[in-house]
Amino acid sequence: MKKLLYGAALLAAGIMTMGGGVKAAALDNGPNCKAAYSCDYGSGTVIYAKEETKRLPIASMCKIMTLLLSFEAVDSGELKYDEMITVSENAASMGGSQVFLDAGLSYTAEELLKSIAVCSANDSCVAIAERVGGSESAFVGKMNARAKELGADNTLFANCTGLPKEPQYSCAKDVAAMLRELLKHEKYFELTKVWMEDFHHPDGRIISMTNTNKLIRYYEGCDGGKTGFTNEAGSCLAATAKRGDMRIISVVIGASNSKSRNAIVSALFDEAFNGYEDHIVLKEGEEIDRRASVKGGKVKEIGLCAASTLSAFGKRGETGDLTVEYELKELKAPVNVGDEAGEAVLYRDGVEIARTKLIAQEEARQYSWWDALREVAKNWN
């Protein structure tokens, strides 16, 4: 079988030898790019911003939205990962980054999504868009509608690939918001962490895919992201990294080259991990020190736990005065494990900064008249 080499070189220019001094210098006097943005994933707290709302071309970073809509289509049952998708002439004709799909051949949705996440395949993008939207133009309409729902008001998509087409733009802040939403899908991490893998065509051809995001391999904790490059957009990268319980999102638009964009994003990560902390007050699934009363139940009260982690993000040593208040519902039996029972609200210096739902850890069955009769009989004896 003939094997075609595809993707960027294994060693992005300068990545392996890029020392801490180079990364630190990337932020001196402001990063050398058109726009940059960095924030905490959990709270959305801004860590760094440069021209974060300026409307700019973002090249293939627009595939963040393409992937998001695809995963949401799976969640809704509209699409299945093992579903076979037949490639159209239109999809097969895409230029730029591609895995050289042939019109008329069929691939699983998962194979196509992986090629988008790993090597930014334009042909796979259009094939997925046509399947989910009915046509690429209809899918683009969904992209723009979803962007509005996320509050990405400085974003307008003209296609699903990011190939040059006017009018089309976004901004660093909006890209971060879209990536933040995408990161809610565990399947994304499974695909985007692939470093090298062969893409098998039904006709026997094999394309070697290499991840375009070199930080996946060369930055500690980086486990996701999307690169982009066109002459108009310059070198772009939106990436995420996690260390301990803290996850950071960093975006750069319009760097001079891939080495520069990698250095800037790495420096943004360093600034966050070295200078900030995420002080966890309640962990997801952790039982709180309050119990909820239940009316009409065989038990009078039940234990509760946090539905998601409640934490305060901020500069190291500056978490402030943190307090938690519980807003409990009036519960009536029956109550099942997992039922919502109220909320935990986190305050910093008296100001609300986060909240999470509280869920029942125990069940409370309804107290029936048979239970009452048995209790009367027991007391009588």
pLDDT tens digits for range 140-159:
999 999 999 999 999 999 99
Give just the sign of the alpha carbon dihedral 104, 110, 111, 112: positive
> Nearest Cα to 326, choosing from 306, 351, 300, 348?
306
| Whether residue 232 is found in the same domain as residue 331 | no
76 is a catalytic site residue: no
Which of the following is catalytic: 63, 173, 214, 226? 63
Amino acid in position 82: D
- pLDDT score of 366: 84
* Mean pLDDT on 313-331: 92
Q: Does position 17 have pLDDT exceeding 50, yes or no?
A: no
158 has which bridge partners? none
Domain final residue pick, 221, 252, 277: 277
CATH number at residue 43: 3.40.710.10
| Whether residue 323 is found in the same domain as residue 262 | no
Q: Does position 378 have pLDDT exceeding 90, yes or no?
A: no
Q: Does position 283 have pLDDT exceeding 50, yes or no?
A: yes
- The residue assigned the tokens 């393409």 is 66
Domain final residue pick, 258, 277, 296: 277
pLDDT band at 234 (very low <50, low <70, confident <90, very high): very high
Which of the following is catalytic: 23, 38, 50, 60? 60
Helix, coil or strand: residue 225: strand
Q: How far apart are CA 319 and CA 45, in angstroms?
A: 13
DSSP 39: E
| Whether residue 257 is found in the same domain as residue 305 | no
> Nearest Cα to 240, choosing from 231, 251, 232?
251
357-370 pLDDT tens trace: 999 999 998 866 56
Which of the following is catalytic: 120, 250, 260, 266? 120
pLDDT band at 340 (very low <50, low <70, confident <90, very high): very high
- pLDDT score of 14: 37
| Whether residue 287 is found in the same domain as residue 264 | no
Q: Do you find a cis peptide bond into 167, omega within 30 degrees of 0?
A: yes
CATH number at residue 323: 2.60.410.10
370 CB-contact burial (10 Å; exposed 0-12 / middle 13-18 / buried 19+) = exposed
Q: Would you state the torsion angle of the CA atoms of residues 149, 153, 159, 161, taken in this order, to the nearest 10 degrees? A: -90
- pLDDT score of 25: 53
* Mean pLDDT on 12-36: 59
315 is a catalytic site residue: no
Q: What range does the domain containing 214 cover?
A: 22-277
Domain final residue pick, 213, 242, 277: 277
14 belongs to a structural domain: no
Of the listed ranges 99-113, 184-198, 308-322, the least confidently predicted one is 308-322
| Whether residue 189 is found in the same domain as residue 246 | yes
pLDDT band at 375 (very low <50, low <70, confident <90, very high): low
| Whether residue 98 is found in the same domain as residue 235 | yes
* Angle (nearest 5°) at CA 319 between 317 and 322: 140
Kindly report the pTM of this predicted structure. 0.84
Q: Does position 270 have pLDDT exceeding 60, yes or no?
A: yes
* Mean pLDDT on 367-381: 60
63 is a catalytic site residue: yes
| Whether residue 135 is found in the same domain as residue 215 | yes
For the chain, the 3-state helix, strand and coil shares in percent, each to the nearest 5, are 30, 30, 35
How many domains is the chain partitioned into structurally? 2
- pLDDT score of 3: 34
375 belongs to a structural domain: no
Q: How far apart are CA 226 and CA 64, in angstroms?
A: 7
